[in-house]
Amino acid sequence: MKNYFILKNLCRKIYLVGAGDFWFEEGEISKGKSLRYQFLCFVLFSIYIFMTVLEIIGVFFGDMPKDERSDCTTFAVSHTIVLGKMFSVILNRKRVKELNRKLVEICANHEDEHRVAENYRIMKINIWAFAVSVYGSFIFFLFEGIRKMMSGSHFITIVTYWPFYEDNSIIAVSFRFFTTLVLAVMMATMICIDSFAMIILIMYKYKFITLRYYFEGLRERFDRNNYTGNEEYATELLHAGFIEGIVMHSNLTRLSKDIDRSVGTVLALQVCLSSGSAVSLLLQLALSKDLTVAAQLKIIMFVIAVFFLLALFLCNAGEITYQASLLSDSIFYCGWDASSMRRDLRRLVLFSCAAAQRPIVMKAFNMLELTYGTFIQVVRGTYSVFALISAQNESLAQ
């Protein structure tokens, strides 16, 4: 039941950052519907939306220096996509709860303690690495804002339409510090939502690994029990175990659609965020000649954070396809050929092997394949667009 506690603890953290209760057991986390909590969530997301709208207005109508306009554009695009990811999960709350229940129940009786512990260790490493990259980027944005304030300008991290660039009143300064605090809280909510999608993929991958070891264990159990005078009992155990494995495989296969409906939008929007924001930031880094070291580092850390999350998403999704492809061999070598019911089992084995050989490819929007190859294509495409625009700007400058 380790997966039960992993998902429950994550849902509790999501609840604490204001995204709502995604746990399938009513009253376990939220302890009943609270009007005060719902009001606080409404206020929190209203602030997120208000800040993002101010950023979008600033892109089109703001009068600010070139570097602040670039930051304003980057944050406007990024925060719009981040809000889209958050709302895509929140609006699918019922589906997410059902997905959590299925992930806990499927293969639960056959999970190995050591493999689950390894699974949990990988989850923690991925989440901590992502959180460090995100808040590392935030620290450099904060440091650059403090540097500007110390050099005679104003403190700034989030660039919005208001306060105006020349406005250094107490209200304006207070609002700039307030938006920095909002950014820090918003990133906590974002990390929890993204971590949830990531953990779903990792857990789903390990379900296929569990099922593969289950079929291999059928052969080992059959060989132990298949001795003179016990052949019928061994065959009955094999037959019953094989049927149970088929049911688990069928449930796992259908679960891919549930994952797509629940968190598929999060994965797809991350592809858009990584490619769009990276192009904008890399161009800012290449075309601006007077960037300070802190400004360069904040851009580099931002690019690393968005591409690191994309790599975690797409590589774990690609690993699902790979692990699922290994099932057909484990099914075929489960021991059916040595049993007295081999003729009856043969047809089941053939159908099961054929089903296992149909690749399970995770998709977003039912068209974008989430694989290792997609990650390479996004990186190459992003660099190609950056190189093309950069070359055109250099030719115009000459």
pLDDT digit string, tens, across residues 344-362: 788 889 999 999 988 788 8
Q: 2-28 burial string, b = 16+ CB within 10 Å, else e?
A: ebeebbbebbeebbebbbbbbbbeeee
Mean pLDDT of the chain: 90
| Residue 137: closest CA among 309, 313, 304, 283 | 304
Q: Report how far residue 106's alpha carbon sits from residue 48's, in angstroms, rounded to the nearest whole number.
A: 37
What is the structure's pLDDT at 218?
93
User: Regarding predicted confidence, which is higher, 128 or 347?
Assistant: 128
- pLDDT of res. 295: 84
Residue 394 pLDDT greater than 80, yes or no: no
Output the CA–CA distances (angstroms, integers) from residue 346 to 160, 211, 212, in the order listed.
67, 19, 19
- Give per-residue pLDDT as tens, 97-121: 999 999 999 999 999 888 889 999 9
**The pLDDT of residue 386 is above 80:** no
pLDDT digits (tens, 9 = 90+) for 61-83: 999 988 899 889 889 999 999 99
Q: pTM of the prediction? A: 0.93
Supply φ then ψ for residue 342, to 5 degrees: -60, -30
pLDDT-derived band of residue 158, with 50, 70 and 90 as boundaries? very high
Q: Is the pLDDT reported for residue 321 higher than 90?
A: yes
If phi > 0 it is left, if psi is from -120 to 50 it is alpha, else beta; for residue 288 that is beta
Supply the pLDDT for residue 208.
96
Task: Tell me the pLDDT band of 43, cut-offs 50, 70 and 90.
Answer: very high
Tokens representing 87 are 């709302």
- Does 228 score more than 80 pLDDT? no
Name the residue with higher pLDDT: 320 or 296. Answer: 320
Query: What pLDDT was estimated at residue 203?
Result: 95
Query: Taking a C-beta distance cutoff of 8 angstroms, is the pair 75, 55 a contact?
Result: yes
- Residue of 276 and 304 predicted with greater confidence: 304
**Per-residue model confidence (pLDDT) at position 397:** 63
Q: Check pLDDT > 70 for residue 398.
A: no
Q: How far from the centroid of its chain's Cα atoms is residue 252's Cα?
A: 19
Q: What value, to the nearest 5°, has the Cα angle with vertex 30 and ends 26 and 31?
A: 75
DSSP 218-265: HHHHHHHH-STT-HHHHHHHHHHHHHHHHHHHHHHHHHHHHHHHHHHH
Q: Higher pLDDT residue, 284 or 25? A: 25
Compute the C-alpha angle 118/123/125, nearest 5°.
95
Number of domains in the chain: 1
| pLDDT of 210 higher than 90 | yes
Q: Is 364 helix (H, G, I), strand (E, B) or coil?
A: strand
Residue 344: per-residue pLDDT: 77
345, with CB counted inside 10 A (0-12, 13-18, 19+), is: buried
SS3 164: coil
- Domain holding 150, by residue range, is 2-397
Mean pLDDT of 197-204: 95
pLDDT band (50, 70, 90) for residue 187:
very high
pLDDT above 70 covers a percentage of the chain that reads: 98
